[in-house]
Structure 1
Amino acid sequence: MLTRRDFGRGLGALGLAGGLPALAQKLRVMKVANTAAVNDPQQCFVTAGQHPKLDFYKPAGVDVEYVNMSSMTQALQSLRGGHVDFGPAVPGILLPAMAKDPTLDLVSVYKWLPRNANVIVVKPGSPIKTAADLAGKRIGVRSQGDSGIVITKTMLAELGLKDDTCEYIAIGDGAPAGAAIDNDRVDAMVAFDTAAARIELVGTALRYVPLTPKFAQVGSGWICVPRELLKKERKNLVALFQGIAKSTLFAHHNLDAGIDLHWAVYPESKPKGRTEEEARKELVFILKDRKNSWMRRPDDPDQRMGASSLAEWRANIEMSADSSKNPRLPEALGDPNRLFSNELIDDINAFDKRAVVEMAKAFRL
């Protein structure tokens, strides 16, 4: 099985080993603050392109290294401290943090989840029918630093409701979360779609409750970098995000291959105790909704991969002000244009997307 340590041998098989020393000298390894386990194949929208058969990063002089984090809050702290180069940007967490601490000078440069991948799930017989019914309830979240808390606050604020009487209970992932729902320790769970799918896989029946209308139209995942890094390493950041864009297209159009490539690059992520076919079936189920959220909606006026808009960031500010109960948040943040940048987007998208799609459709590992 090919691992990243086998990269040199893989290049030799492709007849490229002669260029390896020069390539290695120039390689810029970009560290990512990762709030999902690196062995989780939902990361294949990044990791597929690390495999030598695709090689979407190294020829441009970059590669990705995962640094695991326990929460979004820890990820922001690591970005501020310079321990990582890029990381997730959840507006409901990022914007209040930036308003409180002006030294947290981060800019969102790539939208990796252009559709809303958050979900509300309850037991099939639950009396909760709409997001408004979450008020005053026990809400399950993955951890106390998880985005599910701020997402609940955001939706209730949109409806003009308070979350003052809500109780947020950390129930983890998979089987522990399923048991908490089955045993009525919580009334609902607010999480990403992949977390809900993992709960369904352990046998817990779930009913999905619609998100609030305004929140449902907002993207759910950006990637941010320190502003100073954007100034100093523009070329490397373009190479990094173009590699992610290519990997995303590839994995969306051939999810089976994306999973295979992730397993090959990170062999420790391959599930133990069950057949490969069983493991693949589970992963395809987990990513059935997520793979579509990687791609822009057909009616999105800007189809460039990674692009943001001023209108959505103004909406993010408004929702964050409501959910954090801080009406002065917009004033503290200042010009919303400073929160995001599309300056890399045209260069990131300057590749043959059709060729990547055709490669994905024909690919065999």
Structure 2
Amino acid sequence: MWRRRDFGLGIGALGLAGALPALAQKLRVMKVANTAAVNDPQQCFTTAGQHPKLNFYKPGGVDIEYVNMSSMTQAMQSLRSGHVDFGPAIPGILLPAMAKDPTLDLVSVYKWLPRNANVIVVKPGSGIKSAADLAGKRIGVRSLGDTGITVTKTMLAELGLKDDKCEYIAIGDGAPAGAAIDNDRVDAMVAFDTAAARIELVGTKLRYVPLTPKFAQLGGGWICVPRKSLKEDRAALVALFRGIAKSTIFSHHNLDAGIDLHWAVYPESRPKGRSEDEARKELAFILKDRRNSWMPRPDDPDQRMGASSLAEWTANIAMAADSSKTPRLGEELGDVNRLYTNALIDEINAFDKEAVVEMAKAFKA
């Protein structure tokens, strides 16, 4: 049972006592289209704040429910149909889909992954030295609905190269993916950093190949919502993303606690067949790069959590046009400003970030 003091730490320490009346109201449960299993503790940047000891969501009258999806395409369709309230946005997939289907009226409202978390990995002795060498090769991806295909197309297009001779092969995660690389079933793998780290954990040696320069400077992921939600659900969205921002800062500064809180909220995700200390060490390795990618780059002039820029989205359109072989993509999409918005960002960031940092540093399970 949580003591009153524990409950107060999540609220009073952040100056949120005034939000307590919302707890008496009916919670708005915001459903998220989830393309990675919620049991994966890499999602602690969101889930940690659901724990009563932090309680970053409910004082704002919201909570999160995960709805698992098999692909980005399914996530977009679920957003359009209203089966979920928010979901991931990868520009290389989202923008061509919106141009092709104008009824897919989604807007990116929060950049949850400010740094590019994609990687190219090969065997240590591979002849692939740069992204240009991916042309015509067998590229391993987690699944044929995975973003690795779009990422490869985007990087090759940036270099003026085609991917028409590339072969994309689904090799899964962890040990199966490691075996595919070790046994030369693929020449390289393009995936998120966390997927590559899981392969290293099973003993496969990898060498990391640099991303292309322009692509490397782009954010790795956004969260989008149906446009109508910006008016109809504004207060709920602000509360939702403020909770995510707090959870992100907390987990960045105290990853062990973030993982523990995730396990507590989702007990089915606790490790099986090994100790929690062993599992935590593995997760710390998996998230060694990701934890920094949750936060804005130090050289980004806009340090607000979740903020986007016009220049970034202009670049996203240009790269999506190249990778999808749709030269008129920008014209078909129209005004760049309709694709993203910072309209909620100031309200989302209206909390004491240093208080969250201090809470994370002082937190005891």
TM-score normalised to the size of structure 2? 0.95
Give distance in 1, aligned partners of 2:277 and 2:7.
33
User: CA deviation digits over 1:248-279, x for unaligned, max 9?
Assistant: 00000000000000000001001100011110
Give distance in 1, aligned partners of 2:211 and 2:342.
28
Give distance in 2, aligned partners of 1:121 and 1:94.
25
Q: Which amino acid aligns with 1:253?
A: H
What residue is the counterpart of 2:105 in the other structure? 105
Pairing of 1:198-277 with structure 2 (within 5 A):
198-277=198-277
What residue is the counterpart of 1:193 in the other structure? 193
What residue is the counterpart of 1:124 in the other structure? 124
What residue is the counterpart of 1:53 in the other structure? 53
Compute the displacement of 1:244 (Å).
Answer: 0.2
What residue is the counterpart of 1:337 in the other structure? 337
Give distance in 2, aligned partners of 1:11 and 1:55.
13
Q: Which amino acid aligns with 1:270?
A: R
Q: Would you say 1:85 and 2:109 are equivalent positions?
A: no
Compute the displacement of 1:359 (Å).
Answer: 0.2
Mapped contact 2:20–2:59 kept (Cα < 8 A): no
Compute the displacement of 1:10 (Å).
Answer: 3.9
* Alpha-carbon distance change, 165 to 277 in structure 1, aligned in 2, over 3 angstroms: same
Give distance in 2, aligned partners of 1:15 and 1:89.
34
Give distance in 1, aligned partners of 2:295 and 2:133.
30
Alignment: residue pair count? 355
- Matched residue of 1:185: which SS? coil
Give distance in 1, aligned partners of 2:335 and 2:21.
45
* Alpha-carbon distance change, 14 to 260 in structure 1, aligned in 2, over 3 angstroms: closer
User: CA deviation digits over 1:83-118, x for unaligned, max 9?
Assistant: 100000000000000000000000000000000000
Compute the displacement of 1:23 (Å).
Answer: 2.9
What residue is the counterpart of 2:354 in the other structure? 354
Mapped contact 1:123–1:206 kept (Cα < 8 A): yes
Q: Which amino acid aligns with 1:326?
A: T
Give distance in 2, aligned partners of 1:268 and 1:331.
47
Give distance in 2, aligned partners of 1:336 and 1:278.
47
Give distance in 1, aligned partners of 2:264 and 2:217.
36
Mapped contact 2:25–2:61 kept (Cα < 8 A): no
Mapped contact 2:7–2:54 kept (Cα < 8 A): no
Compute the displacement of 1:231 (Å).
Answer: 1.4
Q: Quote the sequence identity (%).
A: 85
Mapped contact 2:60–2:239 kept (Cα < 8 A): yes
Q: Which amino acid aligns with 1:83?
A: H
Q: Which amino acid aligns with 1:129?
A: K
Give distance in 2, aligned partners of 1:291 and 1:154.
24
Q: Greater CA deviation, 19-28 or 346-355?
A: 19-28
Q: Would you say 1:287 and 2:272 are equivalent positions?
A: no
What residue is the counterpart of 1:175 in the other structure? 175
Q: Which amino acid aligns with 2:74?
A: Q
What residue is the counterpart of 1:3 in the other structure? none
TM-score normalised to the size of structure 1? 0.95
- Matched residue of 2:228: which SS? helix
What residue is the counterpart of 1:26 in the other structure? 26
Gaps of 5+ in 1: 1-8
Compute the displacement of 1:25 (Å).
Answer: 4.2
Give distance in 1, aligned partners of 2:213 and 2:6.
51
User: CA deviation digits over 1:137-179, x for unaligned, max 9?
Assistant: 0000011110000000000000000000000001111111111
* Alpha-carbon distance change, 23 to 169 in structure 1, aligned in 2, over 3 angstroms: same
Q: Which amino acid aligns with 1:81?
A: S
User: CA deviation digits over 1:273-302, x for unaligned, max 9?
Assistant: 001111000000000000000001111010
What residue is the counterpart of 1:157 in the other structure? 157
What residue is the counterpart of 1:6 in the other structure? none
User: CA deviation digits over 1:301-327, x for unaligned, max 9?
Assistant: 100000000000000000000000011
Give distance in 2, aligned partners of 1:143 and 1:94.
18
- Matched residue of 1:320: which SS? helix
What residue is the counterpart of 2:364 in the other structure? 364
- Matched residue of 2:76: which SS? helix
Mapped contact 2:90–2:222 kept (Cα < 8 A): yes
Pairing of 1:66-85 with structure 2 (within 5 A):
66-85=66-85
Q: Which amino acid aligns with 2:114?
A: P
Give distance in 1, aligned partners of 2:179 and 2:310.
42
What residue is the counterpart of 1:4 in the other structure? none
Q: Which amino acid aligns with 2:41?
A: P
- Matched residue of 1:26: which SS? coil
* Alpha-carbon distance change, 22 to 343 in structure 1, aligned in 2, over 3 angstroms: closer
Mapped contact 1:11–1:52 kept (Cα < 8 A): no
